[in-house]
Structure 1
Amino acid sequence: MNVPALRSPNAVLVLDLLRTASEAGISRLELAERTGLTPQAVSKITARLRSEGLATEAGHRASTGGKPRTVLRLVPTAGYAVGVHLDRDELTTLLTDLAGAVVARRTRAVALGEGAEPVLAAVAEEVRALTAGFAASGTYASEATAGPRADHARDSTAGSHRYRVRNPAPGPRVDHVPESAPGPRVDPVPESAPGPRVDHVPESAPGPHVDPVPESAPGSLPAPVLGVGVAMPGPLDHRAGVPGRVTGFPEWDGHPVREELARRIGLPVVLDKDTNAAALGLAVRPAAPSSFAYVHLGTGLGAGLVLGGAPLRGDRTGAGELGHQTVQLDGPVCGCGGRGCLEVLCLAAVARGEEAEAARILGAGAANVVRLLDIDEVLLGGRLVLAAPEVFAGGVREVLAGLGLTAPVRVAGDRDAVAEGAAWLVLAPLFGGGSAPRAA
């Protein structure tokens, strides 16, 4: 795939409509109507996308007059992205196609407190093993089967590693987004106008030192891996690609995570906060609310904020630090140095086995966010929420209702919400959205 071909904003706009079209595809006439471009401009763009392998014909649609319309759809297998969730105690890496469908997954235990050197070495090792294992499997992306995800585990390594590949099914599944769905708007511009630049990484790009592998080692993927999105606990600087004083792990402060991983892996790397990545992954889903708070309760507590269809990070990536909101002035000391933070109170209640109390505390924090930003919805996720979804959703909902706040509350994040969102840090710019941080 020739990534520079996507520099035109019009091509990006058309590509995103192909992504959000249903399995039935979308015709050139419909593309012209929805973009405001001329049919000639659409034909030129779609011809280029087809020549680059990004789009393909998906049959014909019956016409009410004249010849049947040819419909087009995205080719999800034209490229891939890696999403990495570096949590305090676990590392999840997954591979997605251009439509964001997960095609392979690995997980292993890590300890953030071991320091950057061994942990980042593990990340690089997992990314290489993920892509090599997927290429060797001979199983390529498919999402044709509706309903809940049904992964079939195939152990490819010993110990705690788990490698999963989807069963193949005919044709990719790309959900349809209504025309009113939220998302960044790109106005039509002349074909010659400069557009956002998405750099192409040459095949000769420097990579990490890798020990010689046997001739029987797995081959390469049939399409390029466009980059690696990494999501980890904050605070961090998403522009510089550098973490701050991660609560409980001050040794990570100022470490050049993005640059070091790019050197080790040999691919562009984007770094962002775990909650921001998850929020981005939810924002690109069909019919996502225009503004919401994704509240994540796992090894820590934080929130990802989406306003007007785009993540709100703040200049210092400080937006959404919900867990360190003080709710009890004389409360217990938090690892951040404060007292009575939402995170320390919520985690302590969970440790005591009082999930209902934890949900009430979480609801108090969610209510503050709703009042401050007037958001449309509160979405919950994280391993502790997923362990008792009805308790947490019901508890937060009850607190908001008691305060007269009408924002709906639901559990939206699944086990891989952060890792999938991390992959979207790479994919979103290709479709003109996401306001993703730059890659190294």
Structure 2
Amino acid sequence: MRKGDTQEIRRLNRRAILQSLRQAPATRADLARKTGLAKSAVSRLVEELLEEGLLEEGEVRPGELGRPGVLLRLKPQARYALGAELGVEGTVLLAVDWRGEVLWSQEWPHPKEEGVEARLEALKEAVRPRAEGALGLGITLPGVVAGPRLLFAPNLGWRDLDLSLKGFPIPVAFENDAKASALSEVFFHGEENLAYVVLSTGLGVGVVAEGRLLRGTHGAAGEVGHWTGGGRTPCRCGRRGCLETELGLQNLLAHHRALGGEAEDLDTLLALAERGEEAAMKALAHLGEALGRFLANLAVAYDPARVVIGGRAAELFPYLEAPLRAGLRKAAFLPVHQNLPVYPSAYGHLAPAVGGASLFLARFFELGGLWAESPRRNGGPYEEVALGFRHGFGA
């Protein structure tokens, strides 16, 4: 047996127990049966987890041969992480517990000309009084993120920035907003083949194939908003005809005004749609149909099992769904893609920040709750190895 293998086995066994309890409460006997571990091993590890405050005991349930068993479940809010989105319109900060419940959230706008340093400083001040007990802070951005660098965020006007931070009271990690959101779907819902579409000011996609996030050589996989076509509309990336100039929600507002509407922001347009205003309904139907055609192309490119719509578009989904599905059925390449499952994110516009928090929550489970145990064989602590700083989360 190599040095460190005993600790590795303990970690894997704890992970098996925690993952089983994520699905449903269970007795010790249930856990032994589901995980394949010896009952003595399950009892020992359960006692560890109870002492650490990760589990709690519930009601007594009749067991096999009349032997009662005590149900075990994950203790609510026993562990949580912070997530933040540095978006185009503003900043979102929230906390998510390891069961996926948003504990609190706050949002604030910012001047368009405000730079990354000022926004990170404001975020640091907001995090500081809420940092105690958090596993870490995952920060998402609408751009190409490669390790500790932001290569390009066109809609923010940021390029080639070092994201290494000092002075944050908890560990910090950065990720693209769509990729983080896709990873959160894998973590909270278990889907191993999906495309997560973030549609707000811009358009981005996070693709998970067989449980692994697609990144590409430079982290640019999924930047589909910058696919170019025959259009000539200038894009904030400096080119013309990028797809997000047609599908971005700023174009939705422009189309609404072209139809005689007067909405200056999405909240106003949504309120008009709720009242049945004709121009708002037409603009949303047009966007929905275009989004359906886009998903037909996405299905050919990545063949996902389902698509999740996030960003502000998730809040518009009730108005987008029917024309979206009609456009998808009409444009689908394969018959099976005509009925591709498409759903709005359960977290709405908070999804990118939830994705940021899930980066740390997923790693906590991956480590079996041994967040900062003794160094592993390579000499680095668990978090350095498991968080994958060299290649990024989910590499």
Please indicate the TM-score interval, normalised by the length of the shorter structure: 0.7 to 0.9
Asked if the contact 1:106–1:126 (Cα under 8 Å) also holds between the matched residues in 2, the reply is no
For residue 270 of structure 1, what is the aligned residue in structure 2? 173
Residue 424 and residue 355 in structure 1: after superposition, are their counterparts in 2 closer, same or farther (change >3 A)?
Answer: same
For residue 323 of structure 2, what is the aligned residue in structure 1? 395
Identity %: 32
What are the superposed Cα offsets for residues 149-188 of structure 1, whole Å, 9 maximum, x if unpaired?
Answer: xxxxxxxxxxxxxxxxxxxxxxxxxxxxxxxxxxxxxxxx
More helix by percentage: 2
Residue 111 and residue 315 in structure 1: after superposition, are their counterparts in 2 closer, same or farther (change >3 A)?
Answer: farther
Report SS of the residue matched to 1:100. Answer: coil
2:23 to 20, 23, 28: 20
Q: How does 1:274-423 map to 2 (within 5 A)?
A: 274-286=177-189, 288-326=190-228, 328-347=229-248, 348-353=251-256, 354-386=283-315, 388-402=316-330, 403=332, 404=335, 405=337, 406-413=339-346, 414-423=348-357
Q: CA deviation at 1:330?
A: 4.1
Residue 80 and residue 409 in structure 1: after superposition, are their counterparts in 2 closer, same or farther (change >3 A)?
Answer: closer
**What one-letter code is carried by the residue in structure 2 that aligns with 1:16?**
Q
TM-score normalized by structure 1?
0.70
Asked if the contact 2:142–2:155 (Cα under 8 Å) also holds between the matched residues in 1, the reply is no
For residue 55 of structure 2, what is the aligned residue in structure 1? 55
Q: CA deviation at 1:398?
A: 1.3
Residue 113 and residue 305 in structure 1: after superposition, are their counterparts in 2 closer, same or farther (change >3 A)?
Answer: farther
For residue 153 of structure 1, what is the aligned residue in structure 2? none
For residue 151 of structure 1, what is the aligned residue in structure 2? none
Q: CA deviation at 1:384?
A: 3.7
2:13 to 10, 14, 25: 10
Matched, 1:255 2:161: yes
Residue 112 and residue 44 in structure 1: after superposition, are their counterparts in 2 closer, same or farther (change >3 A)?
Answer: farther
Separation of aligned partners in 2, 1:56 and 1:385: 35
Report SS of the residue matched to 1:78. Answer: coil
Report SS of the residue matched to 1:393. Answer: helix
Matched, 1:431 2:346: no
For residue 67 of structure 1, what is the aligned residue in structure 2? 67
Separation of aligned partners in 2, 1:342 and 1:112: 23
Q: CA deviation at 1:269?
A: 0.7
1:236 to 117, 128, 145: 145
Separation of aligned partners in 2, 1:276 and 1:359: 23
Asked if the contact 2:307–2:342 (Cα under 8 Å) also holds between the matched residues in 1, the reply is yes
Separation of aligned partners in 2, 1:420 and 1:6: 30
Asked if the contact 2:252–2:284 (Cα under 8 Å) also holds between the matched residues in 1, the reply is yes
Asked if the contact 2:145–2:175 (Cα under 8 Å) also holds between the matched residues in 1, the reply is yes
Separation of aligned partners in 2, 1:398 and 1:90: 33
TM-score normalized by structure 2?
0.77
Q: How does 1:177-188 map to 2 (within 5 A)?
A: none
Q: CA deviation at 1:417?
A: 1.2
Matched, 1:92 2:21: no
Q: CA deviation at 1:426?
A: 0.9
What are the superposed Cα offsets for residues 81-130 of structure 1, whole Å, 9 maximum, x if unpaired?
Answer: 1111110121111112232311121111124642121111111112124x
RMSD over aligned Cα atoms = 2.5
Q: CA deviation at 1:64?
A: 4.2
Asked if the contact 2:91–2:109 (Cα under 8 Å) also holds between the matched residues in 1, the reply is yes
**What one-letter code is carried by the residue in structure 2 that aligns with 1:229?**
G
Report SS of the residue matched to 1:370. Answer: helix
What are the superposed Cα offsets for residues 328-356 of structure 1, whole Å, 9 maximum, x if unpaired?
Answer: 22432322233322101123244221222
Q: CA deviation at 1:385?
A: 4.2
Report SS of the residue matched to 2:19. Answer: helix
For residue 373 of structure 2, what is the aligned residue in structure 1? none
- Divergent runs of 4+, >3 A: 4-7, 435-440
**What one-letter code is carried by the residue in structure 1 that aligns with 2:23?**
T
Residue 265 and residue 54 in structure 1: after superposition, are their counterparts in 2 closer, same or farther (change >3 A)?
Answer: same
Separation of aligned partners in 2, 1:245 and 1:111: 20
Separation of aligned partners in 2, 1:264 and 1:395: 48
Aligned length: 333
Residue 6 and residue 399 in structure 1: after superposition, are their counterparts in 2 closer, same or farther (change >3 A)?
Answer: farther
**What one-letter code is carried by the residue in structure 2 that aligns with 1:352?**
H
Q: CA deviation at 1:254?
A: 2.8
Residue 295 and residue 397 in structure 1: after superposition, are their counterparts in 2 closer, same or farther (change >3 A)?
Answer: same
Asked if the contact 2:128–2:169 (Cα under 8 Å) also holds between the matched residues in 1, the reply is no
**What one-letter code is carried by the residue in structure 2 that aligns with 1:381?**
G
Separation of aligned partners in 1, 2:91 and 2:8: 34
Separation of aligned partners in 2, 1:59 and 1:317: 48
Separation of aligned partners in 2, 1:437 and 1:317: 14
Q: CA deviation at 1:393?
A: 2.1
For residue 126 of structure 1, what is the aligned residue in structure 2? 126
